[in-house]
């Protein structure tokens, strides 16, 4: 099974929580973990900046990851948000759980 993590960072914890809730409500992810705060140091528009951010790690399938990217990009407050994806290796029961929780529902079937 192709399980991936999609992660994004944001300097507004409440906004990140809203994005995570939307991802879960849409069943695009099976789980979202929040890490932080973390200190980010980065180049932006010619100078080095520093910000306190939270990292959101989203567990999903390769099949749903493009939709996760799209939702995060649309909802994120940054002009250029960090949204990255990486493959993960897991045991079969965990991978099956992620796949089950993110499976597309037939029209009219509801989110649950």
Looking at the predicted structure, is the pLDDT value of residue 31 above 70? yes
pLDDT (0 to 100) of residue 105: 73
pLDDT (0 to 100) of residue 14: 98
- Residue 109 binned pLDDT confidence (cut-offs 50, 70, 90): low
Please report how many Cα atoms fall inside a 13 Å half-sphere around the Cα of residue 108, on the Cβ side: 0
Global pTM reads 0.90
Print the SS3 string covering the chain: CCEEEEEEEECCHHHHHHHHHHHHHCCCCCEEEEEEEEEEEEEECCEEEEEEEEEEEEEEEHHHHHHHHHHHHHHCCCCCCCEEEEECCCCHHHHHHHHHHCCCCCCCCCCC
Walk me through the domains of the chain, giving residue ranges and CATH numbers: 3-101 (3.30.70.120)
């Amino acid at each position: 099974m192709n399980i991936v993590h999609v992660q994004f960072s944001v300097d507004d914890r409440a906004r990140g929580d809203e994005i995570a809730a939307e991802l879960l409500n849409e069943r695009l992810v099976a789980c979202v973990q929040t890490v932080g705060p973390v200190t980010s140091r980065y180049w932006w528009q010619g100078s080095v900046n520093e910000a306190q951010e939270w990292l959101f790690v989203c567990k999903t399938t390769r099949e749903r990851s493009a939709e996760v990217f799209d939702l995060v990009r649309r909802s994120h407050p940054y002009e250029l948000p960090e949204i990255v994806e990486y493959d993960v290796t897991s045991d079969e029961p965990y991978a099956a759980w992620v796949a089950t929780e993110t499976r597309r529902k037939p029209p009219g079937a509801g989110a649950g």
